[in-house]
């Protein structure tokens, strides 16, 4: 999941000025020297020493053995009526289609903890949070919710919601501590996900696995990460190992999570350390994008090869897109309508068009960057890229508003030195969340999360647009949606925290709109995954922003989980609308 990256400016999956202001690097130490052979324990220790070089050691959780499910588990008392009866939607007769995936979603860095255990190597997140604590709100992913040891009880707690699927990510540095092709594979790392997947399956919950949710092995970051095309081979090697190990049990795969956020921000994380030779923050997303698309398509080709050789089960594979089609600030302004299309091209089309349509970038992007900056694909490459997704997956939290950049669209498009170039959208957060009539587009989320408003009333419209723009024979999956309850972090008592009204309203409104999209608009929506089962490590906001259906007490030794009211609301929605 994304979250407020820069508290005052950017971002979300829904709102990323591509030419975002680079974070001015405080003094931060150099990345570790790349390790390209040998790969001894001493080499691994050296990588961890680089993480800890500023004197902040990696810590362990209080619980460091796998907890078994509770024999006496219960969800506890049922909550009281949540909404007044008159609000009961008349969607009560409607059903979700057969086979609908109802799930929750997590990501390795955000939940696992145990970063130095089981032979895992460091990721870019371990490195940056330890070396430049302000980047991660002074926290680290060392422990977070300790899923590595507490997953069995967590699966038990989530099962009580009635989910039939669970989306999680595999940490590349847990499988390959050095990341690179030819470097050793950690059997302990592989075993962890075996156990995790088995526990889901045993509970009747279908696993959905993501290969990459932003945790680049630090040893590859030192070699340029996704700005270096040679990572395509490293990723394919990692993907191949993972497919072969779990491909009989996992039938739904995702290669990359939110490629836009990754390429626009984290591909050069920490800061600009991986940008070399005249590459800056405006250009780097467009150097990352072709490498990421090629890595995705190559892994999909590997996956399909393994399936056709009968080595793994037949399943399906895609990529979790981010981005959206904003509403024009002034619906009567041709320029605002045009800039809304431009935002959709740059944020969504950059990855969706090559993969789902024809192997090319949108015209507006090709017009902006010569091939020397944005690598064009050869016909051979296009053949493996187009069609490299069996369904359309998107993390669709909300939509925003697009207003033309000051000075006008034409002036901006033709001037590469214009601060709004290349998207040419006004990046003022006010104009991205309100319209020409002065009204906001919806209730705002936590103020630390400036990118997010509850715009559920517009999601049907967005789904219609999406299914026309990028039709997929495998249907659409909303692979993440969720909401940060305003000011939740400030609430000291459980009785204040557990009544998470804005989150619950967002989720219920969204789910009911989805029900209507399916039944009335005939949108081929086949699954929805809620971000997220419990509060966790929200990247740069760490534990300061809350998306969880469950509260986690980060001060309690057992990291105690408590259900919020949204958990029950979602459970009851699906009890009513999911076909039995």
Ligand X SMILES: *[C@@H]1O[C@H](CO)[C@@H](O)[C@H](O)[C@H]1NC(C)=O
Site string for ligand X, 112-151 (x = CB under 6 A): -------------------------------x--------
| 548 counts as binding ligand X under rule CB under 6 A | no
Torsion of CA 469, 474, 476, 480, to 10 degrees: -130
Active-site pick, 112, 480, 513, 538:
480
Q: Which is nearer to ligand X, 313 or 494 (CB)?
A: 494
Rg (CA), the chain: 22
| 59 counts as binding ligand X under rule CB under 6 A | yes
For 126-165, what is the HEC assignment?
HHHHHHCHHHHCCCCCCCCCCHHHHHHHHHHHHHCCCCCE
Q: Which is nearer to ligand X, 29 or 305 (CB)?
A: 29
Q: Looking at 69-77, 406-414, 423-431, 566-574, which segment touches ligand X (CB under 6 A)?
A: 69-77
Q: Which is nearer to ligand X, 417 or 437 (CB)?
A: 417
| 555 counts as binding ligand X under rule CB under 6 A | yes
Q: Distance (Å, rounded) from C-alpha 432 to C-alpha 426?
A: 8
| 32 counts as binding ligand X under rule CB under 6 A | no
- Pairing outcome for strands 525-530 and 550-552: unpaired
The secondary element (H helix, E strand) that includes residue 552 is: strand 550-552
Question: Per the omega criterion (within 30 degrees of 0), is the bond before 422 cis?
Answer: yes
Tell the smallest beta-carbon distance from residue 254 to ligand X (Å): 25
CB of 519 closer than 8 Å to CB of 464: no
Q: Which is nearer to ligand X, 230 or 428 (CB)?
A: 230
Tell the smallest beta-carbon distance from residue 139 to ligand X (Å): 11
Q: Distance (Å, rounded) from C-alpha 537 to C-alpha 145?
A: 8
Tell the smallest beta-carbon distance from residue 479 to ligand X (Å): 26
Q: Distance (Å, rounded) from C-alpha 117 to C-alpha 554?
A: 20
Site string for ligand X, 73-112 (x = CB under 6 A): -x---------------xx--x------------------
Q: Which is nearer to ligand X, 8 or 90 (CB)?
A: 90
Specify the length of the chain in residues. Answer: 580
Q: Which is nearer to ligand X, 50 or 252 (CB)?
A: 50
Site string for ligand X, 465-504 (x = CB under 6 A): ----------------------------xx----------
CB of 276 closer than 8 Å to CB of 224: yes
Helices 147-159 and 187-202 cross at an angle (nearest 10°) of: 10
DSSP 3-state assignment of 363? helix
Q: Which is nearer to ligand X, 24 or 555 (CB)?
A: 555
| 61 counts as binding ligand X under rule CB under 6 A | yes
Q: Looking at 59-67, 195-203, 389-397, 527-535, which segment touches ligand X (CB under 6 A)?
A: 59-67
Query: What residues numbered 405-434 form the site for ligand X, per CB under 6 A?
Result: 416-417
Phi–psi pair at 293, nearest 5 degrees: -60, -40
Q: Which is nearer to ligand X, 257 or 498 (CB)?
A: 498
| 228 counts as binding ligand X under rule CB under 6 A | yes
DSSP 3-state assignment of 446? coil
Tell me, yes or no, if 68 is annotated catalytic: no
CB of 372 closer than 8 Å to CB of 366: no
CB burial class (10 A; 0-12, 13-18, 19+) of residue 412? buried
CB of 421 closer than 8 Å to CB of 409: no
Q: Which of 84, 278, 370, 438 binds ligand X (CB under 6 A)?
A: 278
Q: Distance (Å, rounded) from C-alpha 289 to C-alpha 365?
A: 12
Tell the smallest beta-carbon distance from residue 508 to ligand X (Å): 15
| 64 counts as binding ligand X under rule CB under 6 A | no
In order of 215, 499, 544, 549, the CA distances from 485 in angstroms are: 26, 10, 11, 10
Q: Which of 40, 41, 134, 230 binds ligand X (CB under 6 A)?
A: 230
Closest-approach residue to ligand X (CB): 557
Q: Distance (Å, rounded) from C-alpha 468 to C-alpha 142?
A: 43
Q: Which is nearer to ligand X, 325 or 546 (CB)?
A: 546
Q: Which of 27, 557, 579, 580 binds ligand X (CB under 6 A)?
A: 557
Query: What residues numbered 166-225 form the site for ligand X, per CB under 6 A?
Result: 223-224
Q: Looking at 43-51, 307-315, 342-350, 548-556, which segment touches ligand X (CB under 6 A)?
A: 548-556
Q: Tokens for 216?
A: 């680049």
Tell me, yes or no, if 538 is annotated catalytic: no
CB of 230 closer than 8 Å to CB of 223: yes
Query: What residues numbered 240-269 form the site for ligand X, per CB under 6 A?
Result: none
| 37 counts as binding ligand X under rule CB under 6 A | no
Q: Which is nearer to ligand X, 39 or 166 (CB)?
A: 39
Q: Distance (Å, rounded) from C-alpha 136 to C-alpha 214?
A: 15
Of 212, 240, 239, the C-alpha closest to 226 is 212
Active-site pick, 199, 206, 258, 488:
258
Q: Looking at 44-52, 125-133, 474-482, 553-561, which segment touches ligand X (CB under 6 A)?
A: 553-561
Of 402, 454, 409, the C-alpha closest to 430 is 402
Positions in the binding site for ligand X (CB under 6 A): 19, 59, 61-62, 70, 72, 74, 90-91, 94, 143, 223-224, 228, 230, 276, 278, 280, 282-283, 416-417, 493-494, 553, 555-557
**Which residues are catalytically annotated?**
258, 480
């Amino acid at each position: 999941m994304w979250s407020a990256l820069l508290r005052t400016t950017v971002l979300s999956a829904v709102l990323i000025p591509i030419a975002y202001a680079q974070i001015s690097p405080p003094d931060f130490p150099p990345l570790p020297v790349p390790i390209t052979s040998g790969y001894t324990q001493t080499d691994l220790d050296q990588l961890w020493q680089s993480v800890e070089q500023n004197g902040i050691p990696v810590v362990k959780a209080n619980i460091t053995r796998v907890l078994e499910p509770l024999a006496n588990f219960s969800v506890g008392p049922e909550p009281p009526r949540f909404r007044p009866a008159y609000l009961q939607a008349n969607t009560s007769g409607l059903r979700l289609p057969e086979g609908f995936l109802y799930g929750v979603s997590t990501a390795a860095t955000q939940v696992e903890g145990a970063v130095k255990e089981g032979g895992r190597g460091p990721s870019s997140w371990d490195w940056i949070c330890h070396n430049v604590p302000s980047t991660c709100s002074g926290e680290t992913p060392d422990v977070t919710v300790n899923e590595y040891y507490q997953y069995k009880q967590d699966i038990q707690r989530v099962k009580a919601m009635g989910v039939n699927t669970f989306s999680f990510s595999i940490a590349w540095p847990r499988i390959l501590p050095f990341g690179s092709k030819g470097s050793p594979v950690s059997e302990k790392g592989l075993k962890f996900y075996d156990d995790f997947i088995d526990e889901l399956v045993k509970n009747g919950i279908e696993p959905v696995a993501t290969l990459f949710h932003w945790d680049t092995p630090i040893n590859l970051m030192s070699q340029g990460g996704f700005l270096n095309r040679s990572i395509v081979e490293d990723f394919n090697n990692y993907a191949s190992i993972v497919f072969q190990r779990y491909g009989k049990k996992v039938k739904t795969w995702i290669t990359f999570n939110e490629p836009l956020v990754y390429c626009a921000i984290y591909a050069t994380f920490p800061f600009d350390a991986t940008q070399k030779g005249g590459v800056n923050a405006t250009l780097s997303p467009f150097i990352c994008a072709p490498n990421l698309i090629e890595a995705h398509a190559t892994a999909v080709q590997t996956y399909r090869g393994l399936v056709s050789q009968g080595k793994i089960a037949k399943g399906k594979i895609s990529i979790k897109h981010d981005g959206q089609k904003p509403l024009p600030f002034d619906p009567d302004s041709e320029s605002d309508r045009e800039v809304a299309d431009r935002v959709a091209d740059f944020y969504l089309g950059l990855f969706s068009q090559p993969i789902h349509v024809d192997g090319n970038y949108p015209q507006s992007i090709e017009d902006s960057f010569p091939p020397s900056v944005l690598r064009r694909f050869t016909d051979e490459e296009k053949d493996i890229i187009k069609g490299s997704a069996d369904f359309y997956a998107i993390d669709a939290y909300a939509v925003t508003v697009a207003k033309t950049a000051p000075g006008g669209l034409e002036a901006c498009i033709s001037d590469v030195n214009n601060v709004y170039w290349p998207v040419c959208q006004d990046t003022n957060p006010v104009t991205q969340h309100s319209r020409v009539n002065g009204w906001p587009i919806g209730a705002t989320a936590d103020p630390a999360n400036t990118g997010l408003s509850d715009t559920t009333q517009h999601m049907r419209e967005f789904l219609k647009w999406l299914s026309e723009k990028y039709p997929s024979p495998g249907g659409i999956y909303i692979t993440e949606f969720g909401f940060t309850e305003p000011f939740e972090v400030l609430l000291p008592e459980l009785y204040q925290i557990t009544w998470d009204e804005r989150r619950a309203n967002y989720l219920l409104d969204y789910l009911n709109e989805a029900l209507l999209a399916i039944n009335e608009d005939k949108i081929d929506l086949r699954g929805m995954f809620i971000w997220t089962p419990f509060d966790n490590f929200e990247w740069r906001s760490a534990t300061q922003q809350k998306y969880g259906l469950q509260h986690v007490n980060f001060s309690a030794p057992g990291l105690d989980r408590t259900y919020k009211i949204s958990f029950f609301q979602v459970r009851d929605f699906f009890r009513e609308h999911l076909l039995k």
